[in-house]
Amino acid sequence: MEKKTERIKELVKILNEASKAYYQDSSEIMSNFEYDRLYDELTALENETGMVLSNSPSIHVGYEVLSQLPKETHASPMLSLDKTKETESLKSFLGDKTGILSWKLDGLTVVLTYEDGELKKAVTRGNGLVGEVITGNAKVFKNLPVKIPFKGQLIIRGEAVIKYSDFNRINSELEDVDAKYKNPRNLCAGSVRQLSNEITQKRSVNFYAFALIKADGAEFNNSILRQFEWLSEQGFQVVEHRMVTSDDIEENVAYFAEKIKDYELPSDGLVLMFDDIEYGESLGATSKFPRNGIAFKWKDETAVTKLKEIEWSPSRTGLINPVAIFEPVELEGTTVSRASVHNISIMESLELGIGDEIEVYKANMIIPQIAENHTRSGSVQIPDNCPVCGGKTEIRNMNDAKSLYCINEECQAKKIKLYTHFVSRDAMNIDGLSEETLEKFIDRGYIKEFADIYHLNEYEEEIVEAKGFGRKSFENIISAIDNSRNTNVVRLLYSLGIMNIGLSNAKMICKEFDYDIEKIRNAQEEELTDIDGVGEVISDTFTEYFRSEDNNMKLDRLLKELKLEKMESGSSDQQVFSGVNFVITGKVMHFSNRNEVKEKIEELGGKVTGSVTSKTNYLINNDSTSNSSKNKKAKELGIRIITEDEFIQMLP
C-alpha cells in the first residue's frame, strides 16, 4: 500500500508539471501518449486505493491562468470529457440511444457571447474555472461572424485552430530552427493570447463551434443535431459531425480515421454526445466529467525497435537537442529511423539507454515520437562537453523543462549557424556564402566576427587558389558582399542572431525606436515590454545581448562597413496600402527581388500573402497572360492582375 501511495504522489507531481507546461506555457515536457499512459495509471491506483489527493489532475481541470490579459470566471465550470480508445466503449456508452460523432479538434477552446446579433465577449477555457478575455483577438479569427441574424443572447463553445497549411507556411518563414513552432496547437495558443490582435490576424486562426450553451428563445427540438444546423444557419462553421447508433459507430469511426490522414485541421480524436439533450443533461456529471458525452482518442500505430544512439544536435543559440536514432521501422506508410526527444526532461522521463527496446509512433500521424521505453535502462549519459567544440555544457531550466546548452562562446557550431543566419536572405542577403563556404573561411581564420566578412578581399589570393573556388567564384562573393553594404536597420538587427528575435520582432522593435540603432541598442526592458508582442523573455535576451561590451564593440565595427538607409515610421497619410492585400509572383525587373517588393508594401501599411484568395486585392505579375495557378485563381475571383510598372505608379 505504501508503494502505491508514493506512486500516486509521484504521478500527481509529474502530471501537474506536464499540465502546467501544456496549458500555461504552451510548451511540452512529455508526449500526449506518455501523459495518457501515466494518467490512466494514476486513476487506476486511485480507484484501487480509494485515495485521491486534493491536487490530483483527476479532480482538477487544466492549470491556473497566468497572463496580462483580463481574466473572467466562467458561469459554470468547463469540465473535460471522460475518454476511451476502444470503439466497444463507444457502443456501450450509446446503448440504444442516438448520438452525434464529431472531431475533437486540437487547439484552444473559446467561449463566445453574442448579444443583439453582435459578438460581445470571447473568453478562453483557461483552467476550466477562470479564462482570459480575448474579445479583440476573436474578432479577427478568419471565419468567425462578428454579427449574426439571431438577436437574443447566444453563448457557444468552440475550438480556435490553425490549419496545417498555415502552420507550415508560418514555420517556413522562420529561418531560425529554434524559433520554429512544434505543432499547430502551440502556435494557436500563442496567437489567440496575443496582446495585439494584429498579430492574431496574421496567424490565420479559424473557429469551429462544437457546443451551444444558451440561445434565448430558440427552439431545437431537443436535438444537438438541430443545434448544429441552426449554428450553421447563423454563419458559424461547425465541427464536422455524423449521426450514429451503436450499430454503425464502428464504420463512422473508421471514416474519421481515414480522413485524418490528410485532414487540414489538427485533431487528437473524436467526441460522442447523446443527440437527446434532455436525456444527456439528466445524467448529470462527476466532479470532473459530464456524463452526456465521451471522448475517443486515436490508437496510434506503433512499432517496437531498438535504440541505437542519442545524437546531440547543437544550434546557433547553443541549445543541444537530443535526437533518438533507432533501427528503421515502418509507420503510417513511411520508414522512420530518428525522432527528436525535444529536451532533457523528456529523455529522463523515458529513462533511455542504448540498446533499449523502445516503442515509437507518429504524433497525429506525422511527427515521429517515442511512446514508451520497455527496457528503461537509463544508461544514456548527458554529455559534459559539446559534440562540436568540446567546450563545457550546462543544463538550464527553460519553461519548466530541462535543456542542454553549450556555454562556449567560441563554439564552431554556434559560429557557423550564426554566420549562416547573418548572410541569409532576410538578414544581410549575401548570396554565395553557403554554410560549407563559411565553415572553410572560419576554419582558416578569415572570419572571427561579422565585420570580417567585409574584409574577405584581403584573402583574395588564398581564396582564388583554394580547392573548389576560383577567380569567378571569388568575384561573385565579393560583389554580393559589397551589395549587402547598403541595408537597413531591420535587416541589421535580425542578422545579429539575438536569441528570440525573429524578423517580425525585429520590425516591431525598430519601428518603436524610430529605426535608430543607438536607441535600439540602449532600449530598456520596460520599454521593450510595452511593445505589443514583446514579452519578458524577449526583452531579457535582447537587453542581455546589448549589455555585453564585446557585442557592442563588434556591432560598432560592423556599422563602419555598412550604409544604413534612412527609415521613418510611416505616418497615417503615408500608409496608402492600409487594408490592401497583395500577392507577388514571377520575376521582377525594377526591384532586386520579390522580397524587396514585399518590404515596400509592408512599409506602406499593406499585407503580402502567399496565395490568392477572395481577400486578395492585387496580384503583381509581369506576365499577366501566363497560365500560372495564381493567375488562373485571380481571374476566377475577378482580382486585378497588375504589372510591376503599374505597382510603381501606385507608390506615393
* Positions marked active-site: 104
Instruction: Give the separation between CA 264 and CA 161, rounded to whole angstroms.
Output: 10
Interior angle at CA 34, CA 32 and CA 37, nearest 5:
110
Instruction: Give the separation between CA 66 and CA 130, rounded to whole angstroms.
Output: 10
Contact (Cβ atoms closer than 8 angstroms) between residue 598 and residue 608: yes
Q: Give me the residue label for grid cell 533501427.
A: 327
Instruction: Give the separation between CA 391 and CA 412, rounded to whole angstroms.
Output: 10
Cβ contacts of 19 within 8 Å, gap of 6 or more: 57, 62, 63
Q: What are the residues facing 273 on neighbouring strands?
A: 100, 293
Contact (Cβ atoms closer than 8 angstroms) between residue 348 and residue 402: yes
Contact (Cβ atoms closer than 8 angstroms) between residue 106 and residue 298: no
Beta strands in 57-190 (DSSP E): 71-73, 82-84, 99-105, 108-115, 118-124, 130-132, 154-162
Instruction: Give the separation between CA 183 and CA 265, rounded to whole angstroms.
Output: 12
Instruction: Give the separation between CA 32 and CA 160, rounded to whole angstroms.
Output: 19
Instruction: Give the separation between CA 292 and CA 284, rounded to whole angstroms.
Output: 8
Beta strands in 247-292 (DSSP E): 267-274
DSSP state of 642: E
> Burial level of 515, CB count in 10 A (0-12/13-18/19+)?
buried
DSSP state of 341: -
Instruction: Give the separation between CA 431 and CA 96, rounded to whole angstroms.
Output: 68
Instruction: Give the separation between CA 427 and CA 480, rounded to whole angstroms.
Output: 13
Tell which residue, 74, 85, 178, has the closest CA to residue 128: 74
Contact (Cβ atoms closer than 8 angstroms) between residue 314 and residue 386: yes
Q: Give the N- to C-terminal CA distance of the chain in Å, as an integer.
A: 79
Nearest 10 degrees: Cα torsion 199, 205, 210, 214: 40
Question: Long-range contacts of range 169-176, CB-CB < 8 Å, 24 or more positions apart?
Answer: 169/610, 170/203, 173/503, 174/502, 175/421, 175/424, 175/425, 175/426, 176/316, 176/421, 176/497, 176/502
Phi/psi-derived region of residue 126, left when phi > 0, alpha when psi is between -120 and 50, beta in every other case: left
The sign one gets for the Cα dihedral 21, 26, 30, 33 is positive
How far is CA 294 from each of CA 79, 83, 212, rounded to the nearest angstrom? 12, 6, 17
SS3 630: helix
Instruction: Give the separation between CA 574 and CA 603, rounded to whole angstroms.
Output: 9
Contact (Cβ atoms closer than 8 angstroms) between residue 117 and residue 54: no
DSSP character string of 18-69? HHIIIIISS--SS-HHHHHHHHHHHHHHHHHH----TT-TTTS-S-----SS
